[in-house]
Homo-oligomer: A and B are copies of this chain.
Amino acid sequence: MTTALISAPSTLALLSLAERYREVRDATVTLCVPLETEDYVVSSMEDVSPTKWHLAHTSWFFETFVLAPFMPSYVARHPRYAFLFNSYYVQAGERHCRAQRGLVTRPTVAEVFAYRAYVDEALLSLCVSIADDPAHPAWRVIELGLHHEQQHQELLVTDIKHVFWTNPMRPAYRGAPVESPAPVSQEWVGVSEGVYETGHAGNDFAFDNESPRHRTYVQPTQLATRLVTNAEYVQFIADGGYRQPALWLSAGWSTVQQAGWRAPLYWEQHDGAWHEFTLSGNAPVVSTAPVTHVSYFEADAFARWAGFRLPMEAEWEIAARAHPLDGRFVEHGGMHPSADSRGGMQQLFGDTWQWTQSPYVAYPGFRPSAGAIGEYNGKFMCDQWVLRGASCATPRSHARHTYRNFFPSDARWQFSGIRLAADA
């Protein structure tokens, strides 16, 4: 049942630019295979974009930031697409209102696929023409576009999950749920006190927000070797976790009360037993699997209840860089986190993103890229928290030890989970 839905691009770095472009672009299309035309159209909440929009927006990105500046002969596919498919790049011109993305029935799905093919043809011809010139300025923007596309692959999965859950019919995206073995018992790995360098260095691709590499002081710390499980989280619920204000941040407690939270997103209780909606449809909550679809508020409250805290991002990065970049990514095909029965530090990547208690702010000396592309990361450095690792919806070649994901305190529709930390 865990035959990979997507072929593993493990050797991506060895491919030519054109091959990599084709591989990443194809992976997006592969994710759409289980969808009906109707599924591409709607947005079930403001955070969720229609699949059709993801498909078009990623193409618009290449059209706007690669083809327009670097391929003089290129003619934009349609004069209104720039308006419809720009997300938030103010410097790239007027945009459609995000709240209305799910109301746009045309271009149709077929027209959007034709738009992709049109962009791909031009882009691939550009790739060929600059293949021997890695210093060509288009290279790094194409690279960025591919990583951008991979981010939208993850969003496409989490968004369609929300769309399907919103539907009282509760359709499934894939087959039977993956199994989760018994987890190992939780142990602790220490990070010793000292001045460390963290952040991205070198010539490989990284987003601008991972730089510059810089020094930071870390207190003596311990990190849990595995993610918090559903069984542990059910204990928190059973102990009145959602009813004790003293466990929560003030804004978290307001959210619990106003939104009526009493469990992670997608959970419901039937006859005393917890069930959750997965990409394989409704299923009993598997006690051995990592808890997911919890907000920062819930991760923080759980940690407080458990007598621990969440890691800081530097602690996480220092502990993680001793370990290889493996895990159950989107290519695994399960599309849901599960336990890992191997001992030692595990689940750093794949399964679920891990909330840290580090606010998402600039590293010392951070400089965003010039122009509209500089709007990619920097302008969101406010009222969000860093998540580290990667999830079961992340493409493997998209993950990095220095990767900084970020979401606001109440976001729950991503595959976000909990790794505990403790003062040593």
Collect the chain B residues with CB atoms within 8 Å of residue A41's CB. Answer: 38, 41-42, 105
Collect the chain B residues with CB atoms within 8 Å of residue A195's CB. Answer: 195, 217
Binds B, one of A339-347, A375-383, A395-403: A375-383
Collect the chain B residues with CB atoms within 8 Å of residue A107's CB. Answer: 169
Q: Which of B36, B80, B90, B374 is within 8 Å of A169, CB to CB?
A: B80
Q: Which of B38, B215, B250 is within 8 Å of A105, CB to CB?
A: B38
Q: Does A158 contact B (CB under 8 A)?
A: no
Q: Is the CB–CB distance between A103 and B250 below 8 Å?
A: no
- Nearest CB on B from A39, distance (A): 5
A window 157-182: CB within 8 A of B = 163-164, 166-169, 171
Q: Is the CB–CB distance between B250 and A380 below 8 Å?
A: yes
Q: Is the CB–CB distance between A216 and B217 below 8 Å?
A: yes
Evaluate whether A106 and B250 lie within 8 angstroms (CB atoms) in the complex, with A219-B364, A219-B365 already known.
no
Interface 1/0s, chain A 29-61, versus B by CB < 8 A? Answer: 000000011111111100000001000000000
Q: For residue A219, which residue of chain B has the nearest CB?
A: B364
Q: For residue A96, which residue of chain B has the nearest CB?
A: B168
- Nearest CB on B from A173, distance (A): 11
Collect the chain B residues with CB atoms within 8 Å of residue A379's CB. Answer: 248-250, 253
A window 336-378: CB within 8 A of B = 357-359, 361-362, 364-365, 374-375
Interface 1/0s, chain A 259-280, versus B by CB < 8 A? Answer: 0000000000000000000000
Q: Does A4 contact B (CB under 8 A)?
A: no
Q: Is the CB–CB distance between B91 and A382 below 8 Å?
A: no
- Nearest CB on B from A315, distance (A): 10
Q: Is the CB–CB distance between B216 and A364 below 8 Å?
A: no
Q: Is the CB–CB distance between B361 and A357 below 8 Å?
A: yes
Q: Does A100 contact B (CB under 8 A)?
A: yes
Q: Does A104 contact B (CB under 8 A)?
A: yes
Cα A201 to Cα B365 with chains together (Å): 30
Collect the chain B residues with CB atoms within 8 Å of residue A357's CB. Answer: 361-362
Q: Is the CB–CB distance between B364 and A163 below 8 Å?
A: no
Q: Which of B39, B80, B168 is within 8 Å of A83, CB to CB?
A: B168
Q: Does A251 contact B (CB under 8 A)?
A: yes
Cα A166 to Cα B99 with chains together (Å): 12
Collect the chain B residues with CB atoms within 8 Å of residue A90's CB. Answer: 245-246, 253
Q: Is the CB–CB distance between B106 and A169 below 8 Å?
A: yes
- Nearest CB on B from A174, distance (A): 15
Q: Which of B43, B215, B423 is within 8 Å of A217, CB to CB?
A: B215
Q: Does A409 contact B (CB under 8 A)?
A: yes
Q: For residue A193, which residue of chain B has the nearest CB?
A: B215
Q: Is the CB–CB distance between B42 and A108 below 8 Å?
A: no
Cα A100 to Cα B163 with chains together (Å): 11
Cα A346 to Cα B195 with chains together (Å): 32
Q: Does A252 contact B (CB under 8 A)?
A: yes
Q: Is the CB–CB distance between A166 and B100 below 8 Å?
A: yes
- Nearest CB on B from A41, distance (A): 5
Q: Does A84 contact B (CB under 8 A)?
A: yes
Q: Does A236 contact B (CB under 8 A)?
A: no
Q: Is the CB–CB distance between A38 and B37 below 8 Å?
A: yes
- Nearest CB on B from A369, distance (A): 12
Q: Is the CB–CB distance between B80 and A168 below 8 Å?
A: yes
Q: Does A214 contact B (CB under 8 A)?
A: yes
- Nearest CB on B from A307, distance (A): 12
Q: For residue A358, which residue of chain B has the nearest CB?
A: B361
Cα A210 to Cα B409 with chains together (Å): 23
Collect the chain B residues with CB atoms within 8 Å of residue A104's CB. Answer: 42, 166-169
A-B contact pairs, 10 of them (CB 8 A): A36-B106, A37-B37, A37-B108, A38-B106, A83-B168, A91-B245, A104-B168, A251-B380, A251-B383, A359-B359
Apart from A38-B52, A39-B105, A44-B103, list 17 A-B contacts with CB within 8 A: A36-B106, A37-B109, A38-B38, A38-B41, A41-B41, A41-B105, A83-B168, A84-B168, A104-B166, A107-B169, A219-B365, A246-B375, A248-B379, A250-B375, A252-B382, A358-B361, A365-B423
